[in-house]
Every structure is written in structure tokens, then in C-alpha cells.
């Protein structure tokens, strides 16, 4: 007698349908655990009264009214954001939406434009491009900034900055980051629509740039480490870097500054792993003593953040 070969039983359509119904019913009683989806608030809705009071008191004690007139004339703007808890940032500031000439600081907008193009496949992050981006940020290279800007395109960059995804230039909030001229001294493409500034910024929009970056919404996860590396290890040791290195030598500094005549700007993220806090710091000032003033400002802010985080433990 021939032995029949074993054949796996076939599932009929009815059996498959029954199995599917059982699975659906089972899932209703045993739902899978939901992963935590972070929720990030709007920074301009996160001004903290206690932080604001501590911030203003610290500045008053340090500067004794040195920048009073500049603040009143909106020629000085400051925003600080404690992002130790990314989902619960604390904001303090003075003239956060005042738009000032920011010199080289808006090169961070060109950096964003480059990464948008890279993610779209319109640019390649090869060694040459990476080196140019690094020099543009760390050493504030005008030559590299102009070259990268020409690759991104003025109009394209303006569209990126004003897009719903970023809104880093927002006419509803008095402007923001703007690049309307290259850094070679060439002709102006377009000055910003509200203030007629070629290279401009508001402290709040610069702070938003860093908050979007820190929360993974500025560049994709694939390129975040490249972005962070370019922003790290500042090559120019003045303003915020000078103040932070003196007040908190072990802190990590990711920053971009700008200087032209009496216009002084600085910005960045400070990370203190030792004491467990991190914050965004932005200052835009038109003042003859702005260079040293921003170094003092950074030291005062770091001490204030440290004190507040220590008190909350």
C-alpha cells in the first residue's frame, strides 16, 4: 500500500474570517501599550513668572542699568529658555520679538536651508559640503556662507524660513530670521518685508530655531548628529563662549554669533551634563560695549539657571 504524502491543511476563507474576528475582539480587551508621544508647546506661551523675575533681578544686579536705554529703545533683545525638561520649557526674556540687524548670526538659517536641500536629495553632505558648513558656523566664514547660500538659493531659503513647518520668519510676530544678501558684500536680494534689514533676527525666533533642533523638528534624525557636530566646538572665543567658559568651563556650547560695528549677536544651546541642565540663550544688542556685555550676560544667565535648577531638586 502506498503511503500518502502529508499535506498541510488548507485554511478556508471562513476559517480566516473567524480568526480575524477573534483577533479584533481580543485586541479590544488586551490593547497594546501606547508609546509616549512627546508634545512640545509654543515657546511664546511658556513665559515663567518666577524665571522672569530671577532673570530680570540677575541682569539688574550685574549691569546696574547699563543697557536700560538700549532696552527701552528696543535696541537690545534677550530670550533664555530652560529646556532641562524638553516638554516643559521655561522662558524668560526682554523684547523677544524686537527685530535687529544680526550680522552673521543668520548663517544658522543658511545651515537649515542646506539640510533641507540635503534631505530632499538636492545637495549631498559630502566632505566638501560638511567642511564648508562647519567653517560657516564655527569660524563664521563669509566665503563658505555665500557659497552655500548660492547653492540653496535666496528665494528657496526665504520660502523655507516662512513655511508652516518652521515659521522662523513670521510677519504675525514681527519677523525673525532673514537672509536677504550674501556675505560677500554683493548686492541685496531682498530686505525683510517689515524692517528693511538684510541680515536680521528676533531673539524669540532664534530661540525657536534651537528648540526645534533640540526636539528633533528642525532636521531629521538621520542628520541630527551631523547638524549638532557642525554647531559644536566654536572657533571664535568671544561673547557667550568667553562668558560660559569662565563661569562653567565643563559646559558644552553649541552656538552662532554675529558682529558688525556696534551690532552684537550671539545664540546657542548650553549643556551642563555635570549638573543636569540645559538651556537656550539668545541676545541681540546694538551697543558699543556689546562684545564684553554679552560675555557677562552669558555668565549671569548660567548662574541663574544653575541656581534655579538646584533649588528645584
Q: CATH no. for residue 279?
A: 3.40.710.10
Q: What is the pLDDT of residues 52-98, one digit of tens each?
A: 999 999 999 999 988 889 999 999 999 999 999 999 999 999 999 99
For residues 78 and 93, the answer to whether their CB atoms sit within 8 Å is: yes
pLDDT at 34 over 80: no
pLDDT at 302 over 90: yes
Q: What is the mean pLDDT of residues 291-309?
A: 96
Give domain status of residue 169, yes or no: yes
pLDDT at 240: 98
Give domain status of residue 22, yes or no: no
Domain extent, residue 303, equals: 43-311
Round the average pLDDT of the chain to a whole number and report it.
91
Q: What is the mean pLDDT of residues 104-130?
A: 98
Q: What is the pLDDT of residues 150-208, one digit of tens each?
A: 999 999 999 999 999 999 999 999 999 999 999 999 999 999 999 999 999 999 999 99
Q: What is the DSSP letter of 168?
A: S
**In the chain, % of residues over pLDDT 70:** 89
More confident residue, 244 or 25: 244
pLDDT at 5 over 50: no
φ and ψ at residue 239, rounded to 5 degrees: 50, -125
Q: What is the mean pLDDT of residues 12-22?
A: 49
Give domain status of residue 127, yes or no: yes
pLDDT at 32: 46
Give domain status of residue 95, yes or no: yes
For residues 152 and 136, the answer to whether their CB atoms sit within 8 Å is: no
Give domain status of residue 281, yes or no: yes
Burial of 270 from C-beta contacts in 10 A (0-12 / 13-18 / 19+): buried
pLDDT at 30 over 50: no
φ and ψ at residue 293, rounded to 5 degrees: -60, -40
φ and ψ at residue 294, rounded to 5 degrees: -70, -30
- Hey, what's the cell of 92? 524668560
Instruction: Enumerate the H helices of the chain as residue ranges.
Output: 13-29, 49-63, 68-72, 107-119, 127-138, 142-152, 154-162, 203-214, 221-231, 239-247, 290-311
pLDDT at 6: 34
pLDDT at 157: 98
Give domain status of residue 23, yes or no: no
Number of domain units in the chain: 1
Give domain status of residue 32, yes or no: no
Give domain status of residue 12, yes or no: no
Largest distance between two CA atoms of the chain: 108
pLDDT at 216 over 90: yes
Amino acid at each position: 500500500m502506498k503511503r500518502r504524502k502529508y499535506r498541510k491543511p488548507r485554511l478556508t476563507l471562513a476559517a480566516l474570517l473567524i480568526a480575524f474576528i477573534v483577533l479584533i475582539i481580543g485586541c479590544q480587551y488586551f490593547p497594546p501599550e501606547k508609546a509616549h508621544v512627546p508634545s512640545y508647546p509654543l515657546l511664546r506661551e511658556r513665559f515663567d513668572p518666577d524665571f522672569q523675575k530671577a532673570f530680570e533681578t540677575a541682569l539688574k544686579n550685574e549691569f546696574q542699568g547699563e543697557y536700560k536705554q538700549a532696552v527701552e529703545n528696543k535696541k537690545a533683545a534677550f530670550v533664555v529658555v530652560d529646556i532641562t525638561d524638553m516638554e516643559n520649557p521655561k522662558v524668560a526674556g526682554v523684547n523677544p520679538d524686537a527685530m535687529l540687524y544680526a550680522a552673521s548670526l543668520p548663517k544658522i538659517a543658511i545651515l537649515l536651508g542646506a539640510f533641507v536641500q540635503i534631505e530632499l536629495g538636492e545637495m549631498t553632505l559630502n566632505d566638501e559640503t560638511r567642511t564648508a558648513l562647519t567653517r560657516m558656523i564655527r569660524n563664521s566664514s563669509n566665503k563658505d556662507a555665500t557659497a552655500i547660500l548660492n547653492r540653496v538659493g535666496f528665494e528657496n531659503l526665504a520660502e523655507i524660513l516662512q513655511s508652516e513647518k518652521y515659521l522662523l520668519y513670521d510677519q504675525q510676530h514681527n519677523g525673525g530670521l532673514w537672509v536677504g544678501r550674501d556675505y560677500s558684500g554683493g548686492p541685496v536680494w531682498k530686505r525683510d518685508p517689515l524692517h528693511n534689514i538684510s541680515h536680521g533676527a528676533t531673539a524669540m525666533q532664534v530661540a525657536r530655531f534651537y528648540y526645534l533642533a533640540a526636539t528633533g523638528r528642525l532636521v531629521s534624525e538621520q542628520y541630527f548628529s551631523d547638524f549638532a557636530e557642525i554647531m559644536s566646538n566654536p572657533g571664535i572665543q568671544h561673547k557667550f563662549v568667553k562668558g560660559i567658559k569662565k563661569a562653567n568651563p565643563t559646559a558644552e556650547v553649541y552656538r552662532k554669533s554675529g558682529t558688525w560695528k556696534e551690532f552684537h549677536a550671539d545664540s546657542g544651546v548650553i549643556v551642563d551634563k555635570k549638573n543636569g541642565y540645559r538651556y537656550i540663550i539668545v541676545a541681540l544688542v546694538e551697543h558699543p560695549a556689546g562684545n564684553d556685555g554679552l560675555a557677562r550676560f552669558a555668565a549671569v544667565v548660567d548662574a541663574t539657571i544653575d541656581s534655579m535648577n538646584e533649588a528645584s531638586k
